[in-house]
Structure 1
């Protein structure tokens, strides 16, 4: 075919002419194909607002161009008289360059796709902004290992010893960092399952309560009402019970105020006072309405409970303080006794005086 092209162009059948012709044809074909991808596929993807496809089509132009040029160089240099060692070495060099370029393409494409998926993540989706660094690192390691393996095959390097060493090192690292690995895996599951999110008020199994300020792959940070930040390993949270006070059907939550009164009071009057105190409290919700429940006959008095709803778990302490204060003042005005523990001392006899 090359000879027919030379004859058609009226060029002499010379080695250097053939090499130049192959190089020119290769370069021309590579440039035409690259610009065709840009003008057709990339523009089509942009018009369809397919950012992922537009990025991939634009990124693949370089590896395709390099592959075509390397094929042309290999064919052109094959026409030159070269030593046998060079004939064996050049294809390996060209394949290595090609693998590196294609590896770079896959690396960029995977990272772009992961970032795009995380930006459009829905609730419960595994890939999200918080887990993005983990998946980027995993994908980078996988791509590097695959293309390193292909490079070793290209240069005919035996990988048995390398794989055996990597297996031993992996086992040693796994035992040494088992707690860290457990925290990382728990962090992935927490981010995927979403039992809580940043800004939620949670109570963990050990009793700490606070607002979630950071959800990392290794740990979760909670800011308590004492303005102290607690750093809790994810493995502890994942294996324990979590109460999310900001979750449910809505962010509203119910707060309970327990009240005890003497047995000789008018219980209906007490209920009316408690309801009046609740209705005058501006920090609680009007829907649902406050409720009063007579819970039990206690050892020292009648035990009632005032149930109110609040808009934000953060104000629970302030609401309980305000309600308790108002209830105490109203009971004092209405002369309603709040029972407390009393101890009576009976002296059976006194010692006789000498």
Structure 2
């Protein structure tokens, strides 16, 4: 009974608003047109047709004015984002004015209360659906514009577009359905309560899946790595990121083995992004020791000349040689250089060690190593007799 009472009150309110709008229209008419309006009031169907025709004309006029005025500003910009946006907004204005004219026409027809309420709610439903479609188009246009290199925000990347697209669609459709239910005089409280109970049950049953799902959203939002980055995890996995999904992340290791890691693990792991920073270049360090009798300036010059001749080492930043410590049997040093890509680290380190060993042998630079000399003072008698 309470629901029927609220429906009746809503219908009475709509009727009152429509009657006030018709009264305002009548009061603004010139005296010469007033008799024509009164004659139209005596013929409801003719009045409804006139109201719809006027509404159509006003809607088209408003659409044309909107596109003409704002189109001048859109023509001054280079992109197509504002042109497409204004076109959709102009259609939304047309829809609002035209559907309002339909509501006035229904009021002019003076149907019974039940038929009048049904027709008005049906028109309101069409208006809500039309505006929902327009809003979905606006979000799609905005996401396409923001994914463009010329209109890119830091937190929006090409790989995040599908997630943002799905999220915005769910929010818009959900809000539209909620307003649509209210327009028909239905109380959605019980439905929302039931949906909440079902959501709690589903959350407990699929907590691991939801954990991966939310971690995937956080990874996309925080962006600790992206497709193509070379990363190293605290668990030892090292490889290039080949896929960032909602549930998991995939790495291709140097052994050409693909490792799939759940996003809940990635969200809590310590990640070293070797491709991050101001560039993708990676620094390699070769530890080596020379004897105390070596000419350290010669060692320094030999290593830098070697670096100058290699094309796989970056010239900027420049390679460096740093003597680090007086070791137990050698002077310890590091040869440091930058390479273009992290995956080259193993191969170039291998080649550098071989080349440094060859050059030091050619230049007479000793690389000391741990060795022991055994002196036998006297052989036991039984061994010497044999």
Gaps of 5+ in 2: 1-25
Q: What is aligned with 2:237?
A: 208
Equivalent position to 1:148, from 167, 177, 197: 177
Q: CA deviation at 1:80?
A: 3.5
SS at match of 1:196: coil
* CA distances 1:137-164 after superposition (whole Å, capped 9, x unpaired): 2221111121211111121222222111
Alignment of 1:154-193 (within 5 A): 154-193=183-222
CA distance in structure 1 between the partners assigned to 2:375 and 2:125 by the alignment? 97
| Partner of residue 295, structure 1 | 325
Q: Determine the C-alpha separation between the residues in 2 that align with 1:219 and 1:331.
A: 48
C-alpha spacing 1:271/1:294, structure 2 compared with 1 (3 Å): farther
Hey, what does 1:306 align to over in structure 2? 334
Does the 8 Å contact 2:44/2:110 carry over to 1? no
- Describe the SS at the equivalent of 2:241: strand
Higher helix share: 2
Cα distance in 2 between the residues matched to 1:10 and 1:160? 45
- The aligned counterpart of 1:115 is 144
Structure 1 CA distance for aligned equivalents of residues 207 and 91 of structure 2:
42
Partner SS state of residue 228, structure 2: coil
Does structure 1 residue 316 correspond to structure 2 residue 306? Answer: no
Per the TM alignment, residue 11 of structure 1 is displaced from its structure 2 partner at its CA by: 6.7
Deviation track 1:70-110 (CA, whole Å, cap 9, x = no partner) reads 33333333343534421221111111111111111222212
For residues 131-146 of structure 1, the aligned pairs below 5 Å read: 131-146=160-175
Query: What is the SS of the residue equivalent to 1:131?
Result: helix
Check whether the contact 1:275–1:292 (CA below 8 A) recurs between aligned residues.
no
Question: What CA distance in whole angstroms lies between the structure 1 residues aligned with 2:61 and 2:156?
Answer: 38
In 2: Cα distance, 1:286 partner to 1:38 partner: 56
Aligned residue among 85, 106, 121 for 1:56? 85
**Which residue, 365, 369, 382 being the options, matches 1:339?**
369
Residue in structure 1 matched with residue 282 of structure 2 by the alignment: 253
Q: Which residue of 1 aligns with 2:16?
A: none
Equivalent-residue separation in structure 1 for 2:247 and 2:142 (angstroms): 24
Match of 2:75 in 1: 47
Which residue pairs with 2:35 in the alignment?
7
Give me the TM-score of the superposition, normalised by structure 2.
0.75
Q: Please say which of residues 200-209 and 170-179 is displaced more in the overlay.
A: 170-179
Cα deviation 1:196-252 (Å, max 9, x = unaligned): 343332222122222333444443333322223333333333322222323345444
Q: Is the CA contact 2:146–2:156 (under 8 Å) kept in the aligned structure 1?
A: yes
CA separation in 2, counterparts of 1:290 and 1:117? 42
Quick check: 1:254–1:310 contact (8 Å CA) kept in 2? yes
Report the count of equivalent residues: 347
Cα RMSD for the two superposed structures? 3.6
Q: Which moved more, 1:264-273 or 1:58-67?
A: 264-273
1:5-45 CA-to-partner distances (Å, cap 9, x unmatched) read: 3735997753443233223222222222222223333x224
Determine the C-alpha separation between the residues in 2 that align with 1:306 and 1:61: 67
Stretch deviating more after TM superposition (1-10 or 163-172): 1-10
TM-score computed with the length of structure 1 as normaliser = 0.81
Task: Return the alpha-carbon distance in structure 1 between the equivalents of residues 98 and 209 of structure 2.
Answer: 47
Superposed, 1:3-42 pairs within 5 Å as 5=33, 7=35, 13-41=42-70
Query: Does the CA contact (< 8 Å) of 2:283 and 2:336 recur in 1?
Result: yes
Moved more, 13-22 or 341-350: 341-350
How many angstroms does 1:126 deviate by? Answer: 2.6
Tell me whether 1:89 sits opposite 2:121 in the alignment: no
Structure 1 regions of 5+ residues with no counterpart? none
8 Å CA contact 1:310, 1:316 repeated in 2: no
